[in-house]
Every structure is written in C-alpha cells, then in structure tokens.
Amino acid sequence: MMSSVVKLNDVSYSYDGTAALTDVSIDIRRGEFVAIVGDNGSGKSTMTRLILGLLKPKHGTVELFGKPISQFKDKSRISYVSQKAASFNSGFPVTVEEVVAMGRYGRLGLFKRLKTEDRSAIRRALETVNMWDFRHRKIGDLSGGQQQRVFIARAMVNQPDLLILDEPTVGVDQKHLKDFYDVLHLLREQTSCTFILVTHDLNVVTNLVTKVIHLDRGSLACDCGLKEYSEIDQLAPSIRPYPVKVLIHEETT
C-alpha cells in the first residue's frame, strides 16, 4: 500500500467562533494527484494552511509523511505555488532563470553561491516546463501562462515530494489552460511527486486527477476517485450546481 503523505484526522478549525472546517478526515497517498474543490468559503484555503503548518487545528490532528506536523521538520519536501497571476508585480526586474534560482536559495541559504549541481537543477526544471529558452527574459515580459510555468519550475527545482497548487489557473486564459495542464502531465510522468490541486472551478477537472476531495461549507462532501465523482448525477445544488467536465490530456508538447 502507498504510504501516507497528508493525513487529517477529525480536524476542525474556526475563525472567531465561525467554523471553517468541521470534523474533516482525509488521507492523501504517495503519488496521488488530488483535487481539493469547493465553492468560495468552503474551507479549501483553511485546509491548505493547515497542511502547510500555517494554522493549528482547534481539534484533531494533521500528519505529514507519517509524522505529526509538529514533528515534521524537512520543509524542503513540500513546495507551494500560490495564486501568482493575480498578484505578481510584472515590473519586478528579475529574469526567468533568477526566479527559479530562488527555489535553490531556500535550501542553500540566501548568501550562498550556486554550485554546478544547482545550475543543473535549474536547467532541468526549466526544460521540464519548456521554458529554458526563455531563461534570460524578464519574468514580467511573459504571458500569465508562461509565468505560471516558471513558478512551477521554481517549486520543482528541489524535487519535492509534495507539490501544492493553489488556484494555479487564476489569470491563465482559456487559450493556455490546456498548455498549463500539459506541463503537469509532464511532471506526473517524470517525477514521483504527490500533487494537490486546489480550485473553486467545480465544473472543470483535469483527467490527471486520481481523487477528488470536495468541501462544502467546511464539511467533507465527497472523497472519491475522479470517475466516481464525474458520474455522480445528484449532489445537493449547493455542492455542485452543474455537471463536471473532465479535460482529457493524452498528448504533451
């Protein structure tokens, strides 16, 4: 059986007395690609912060890689890609290669010099997302989709065991949406990383997903495989108001 990467046991959390998560239990296994979905205010952000250790549960426990989160110290095993496109300062004077190098400095220390193996890791990460030829371009000169590729490369440069993508398609137009998921397809093929994709887009789920965790007003509404999720005909309107469309990615570019 695949080992556990993220486990929540009867976790509850509240903000000023208002429940954000209530008695949620999930178990994400090594190598899975999990979509955490739900409407705004469903508890997705709270769950993400609990997994990252930014919040402590009011009740229940969080485990990472089989250890209580309080005992888990190897933060380099986890990478996080935020809603970059909505907040990134396009005027920031830094190149694509320098952005990805920032991911290595987290391990080396801010004032350490990059070594040959670090530069090789940077090149590998950029080649994986097909952005090596753009390495000397300013990050602000790229499209939203290209920028997100670069930030994924930065997240993958240390070869993490868990990658959390928080609303990664915010700011990515429909033209580049398939291109973005093709990058994730490549990462799935070339790494043994576990992926968590957080999204509020309930009616579009990529077929890369192996499991769907659906939150509804802080409660666990569904924890099942993609096929089962896409074939559910009747869920409460507040949980899923329209049919799921599964994006199929059979080829990569």
pLDDT in tens, 177-201: 777 778 888 888 888 899 999 987 6
In the chain, what are the domains? 4-247 (3.40.50.300)
- Name the residue with higher pLDDT: 253 or 11: 11
| Strand partners for 69 | none
Instruction: Please report which confidence band the pLDDT of residue 241 belongs to, taking 50, 70 and 90 as the band edges.
Output: very low
- Name the residue with higher pLDDT: 85 or 88: 88
Question: Is 50 strand, coil or helix?
Answer: helix
Give the CB-side neighbour count of residue 58, counting CA atoms within 13 A. 14
Q: Whole-angstrom Cα distance, residue 207 to residue 80?
A: 21
- R_g (Cα) of the chain, nearest Å: 18
Average pLDDT over residues 93-118: 81
In this prediction, residue 188 carries a pLDDT of 87
Burial of 68 (0-12, 13-18, 19+ CB in 10 A): exposed
Average pLDDT over residues 151-180: 83
In this prediction, residue 78 carries a pLDDT of 94
In this prediction, residue 163 carries a pLDDT of 95
Instruction: Please report which confidence band the pLDDT of residue 19 belongs to, taking 50, 70 and 90 as the band edges.
Output: very high
In this prediction, residue 83 carries a pLDDT of 72
Using alpha carbons, select from 111, 134, 109 the residue that is nearest to residue 122.
134
In this prediction, residue 90 carries a pLDDT of 64
Question: Is 179 strand, coil or helix?
Answer: helix
Residue 201: what residue type? D
Burial of 15 (0-12, 13-18, 19+ CB in 10 A): exposed
Q: Whole-angstrom Cα distance, residue 131 to residue 165?
A: 19
Average pLDDT over residues 38-57: 93
Judged against a pLDDT cut of 70, whether residue 73 lies above it is answered with yes
Cβ contact 77:16 at 8 Å: no
- Name the residue with higher pLDDT: 87 or 75: 75
Instruction: Please report which confidence band the pLDDT of residue 242 belongs to, taking 50, 70 and 90 as the band edges.
Output: very low
In this prediction, residue 231 carries a pLDDT of 72
In this prediction, residue 84 carries a pLDDT of 57
In this prediction, residue 246 carries a pLDDT of 54
